[in-house]
Amino acid sequence: MRHLSPRAAISGIGELKPQRRTENVATMDLLMRVSAGALADAGIGPDEVDGLLVAPQVGETPQHVPATVAEYFGMQPSMSNMVDLGGASGPGMIWRAAAAIAAGQCETVLCVIGNHRNPQPPRASNRNPAREFDTPFGASGANTSYALLMQAHMAAHGCKPEDYAAIAAGSRANAQNNPLAIFYGQPASVEEVLASPMVASPLHLFEIVMPVAGADAVVVTTADKAARGPHRPVHLLGAGERITHRAVSQAPDLTSGPLKPSIARALDQAGLTVQQMDFLSLYDCYTIMVAATIEDAGLCPPGKFGKWLQDNGGMGPDARQPINTHGGQLGFGQPDLAGGMTHVVEAVRQIRGAAPDRQIENCETALITGNGATMSEAVALVLGGAA
């Protein structure tokens, strides 16, 4: 009989006594109690957990589930995911945890599932910081929360509205080289960005992504099989991930986010520096997101992104380090959660040398970033062409 090579082992377990009914019990509290038991059984503390796998029954939202749990637990995992396989979710978590450990993304993964059985309507099952400390005071929705981040960034560093508007203008300019972009044929100057309606001060309408329908897909295979394919292989050279919070009221820092350690880890795995990146494919749901990412990547000191963009020669394919040549989400559009994947697809095009009308010369490496919730969930990738 063939056995799998051991890559990981189970070191702790936890279980709660089943109850036919619960009264005014929060799912999050059940998850906390059973997780504490599993960690105690393993003889480790919560600070030793750097991976988190959860199921979707948290209740607040179908999105940001790992971030909601991590925030409640006070964890900042470097690998996290939601596993939704029905009754197979538990076993599915185990091999995913082992795979993440083998990939070097984490060392200790907490896998946790549970749910309440409160009578309807539930009174406490959805309790979490976002519902208790953000929404009742008006911080509901992404526009308000990202406006808060932008206000904090401006106050801390003295950045001007024109600095952020230049990002939106640069994205629109890049979109003019991409016929698929929603804003193809509709450029916007810095002045036009600042003249667009104020949505949530200091964010103007053109500094916010336009939701669109769409989809993106990527095929990942072995290096050997990719080498036999019809296109130049694009290799994953490094990856990093971090969650720091879910609700903006719980953010450890309003001017810097989890992309900072994520990017550092991805570059370290790749053995490269950010200055060696030929292309920057940066998640851009709002202009403040790009500003903070440029700084968190170490391209410039905090508060100096505006000058860096000027010295960089803008964002186009002829810039020193081009940014979001497909238009980014600010110029291309945000097809829901596929918005982050558009940055991966564009990086692959550039490294393949297959980006007509916007091809970067000699593009060999790319940094891709992804962002979830309110600068809360972060993933960074370094991609490179074949040697």
pLDDT band at 2 (very low <50, low <70, confident <90, very high): very low
159 and 296 belong to one structural domain:
yes
119 and 147 belong to one structural domain:
no
Among the candidates 127, 158, 186, a domain finishes at: 127
Q: Please report whether residue 20 resides in a domain.
A: no
31 and 162 belong to one structural domain:
no
Q: What percent of the chain has pLDDT over 70?
A: 92
> Is the pLDDT at 233 greater than 70, yes or no?
yes
Answer with the residue of higher pLDDT: 90 or 345: 345
> Is the pLDDT at 59 greater than 80, yes or no?
no
pLDDT score, position 4: 46
> Is the pLDDT at 387 greater than 70, yes or no?
no
Among the candidates 100, 127, 154, a domain finishes at: 127
Q: Please report whether residue 1 resides in a domain.
A: no
pLDDT score, position 219: 76
Q: For helices 142-157 and 287-296, what crossing angle results, to 10°?
A: 50
Residues whose CB is less than 8 angstroms from the CB of residue 264 and which lie 6 or more positions away in sequence, other chains included: 240, 298
pLDDT score, position 255: 96
Q: Please report whether residue 40 resides in a domain.
A: yes
What CATH number is associated with residue 267?
A: 3.40.47.10
pLDDT digits 0-9 by tens, 273-305? 999 999 999 999 999 999 999 999 999 999 999
365 and 242 belong to one structural domain:
yes
Residues whose CB is less than 8 angstroms from the CB of residue 324 and which lie 6 or more positions away in sequence, other chains included: 170, 171, 174, 280, 281, 282, 284, 290, 315, 330, 331, 343, 346
Hey, is 370 helix, strand or coil? strand
Among the candidates 64, 96, 127, a domain finishes at: 127
pLDDT score, position 120: 64
pLDDT score, position 70: 92
DSSP 382: E
pLDDT digits 0-9 by tens, 352-380? 999 999 999 999 999 999 998 899 989 99
327 and 371 belong to one structural domain:
yes
| Tokens 């810095």 found at | 190
pLDDT band at 93 (very low <50, low <70, confident <90, very high): confident
pLDDT band at 1 (very low <50, low <70, confident <90, very high): very low
Domain count within the chain: 2
Residues whose CB is less than 8 angstroms from the CB of residue 6 and which lie 6 or more positions away in sequence, other chains included: none
> Is the pLDDT at 346 greater than 90, yes or no?
yes
pLDDT band at 182 (very low <50, low <70, confident <90, very high): very high
If you average pLDDT over every residue of the chain, what do you get? Answer: 89
55 and 174 belong to one structural domain:
no
Give the separation between CA 58 and CA 113, rounded to whole angstroms: 9
277 and 367 belong to one structural domain:
yes
Q: Please report whether residue 8 resides in a domain.
A: no
- On the CB side of 117, how many CA atoms lie within 13 Å of its CA? 6
**Cα end-to-end span (Å), the chain:** 38
229 and 189 belong to one structural domain:
yes
97 and 176 belong to one structural domain:
no
DSSP 241: E
> Is the pLDDT at 82 greater than 60, yes or no?
yes
Single-letter amino acid, residue 45: G
Contacts 24+ apart (CB under 8 A), 197-200: 199/143, 199/147, 200/143, 200/144, 200/146, 200/147
Q: What is the pTM of this model?
A: 0.84
> Is the pLDDT at 127 greater than 70, yes or no?
no
Tokens encoding 299:
């391209």
74 and 121 belong to one structural domain:
yes
Dihedral pair phi/psi, residue 37, rounded to 5°: -65, -40
Q: Please report whether residue 210 resides in a domain.
A: yes
> Is the pLDDT at 269 greater than 50, yes or no?
yes
pLDDT score, position 126: 57
Contacts 24+ apart (CB under 8 A), 166-170: 166/190, 166/306, 166/309, 167/207, 167/284, 167/287, 167/290, 167/291, 167/309, 167/315, 167/330, 168/193, 168/204, 168/206, 168/207, 168/287, 168/330, 169/193, 170/309, 170/314, 170/315, 170/316, 170/323, 170/324
Residue 262 near residue 350, CB atoms below 8 Å: no
Tokens encoding 282:
């940066």
pLDDT digits 0-9 by tens, 146-164? 999 999 999 999 999 999 9
Residue 287 near residue 169, CB atoms below 8 Å: no
Query: Once rounded to an integer, what is the mean pLDDT over residues 73-94?
Result: 85
pLDDT score, position 196: 98
151 and 114 belong to one structural domain:
no
Q: Please report whether residue 340 resides in a domain.
A: yes
Could you list the residue range(s) of the whole structural domain that residue 48 is in?
Answer: 27-127
Q: Please report whether residue 132 resides in a domain.
A: no
| Lowest-confidence region among 129-143, 188-202, 212-226 | 129-143
Query: Once rounded to an integer, what is the mean pLDDT over residues 112-116?
Result: 84
111 and 250 belong to one structural domain:
no
Return the bridge partners of 342, or none: none
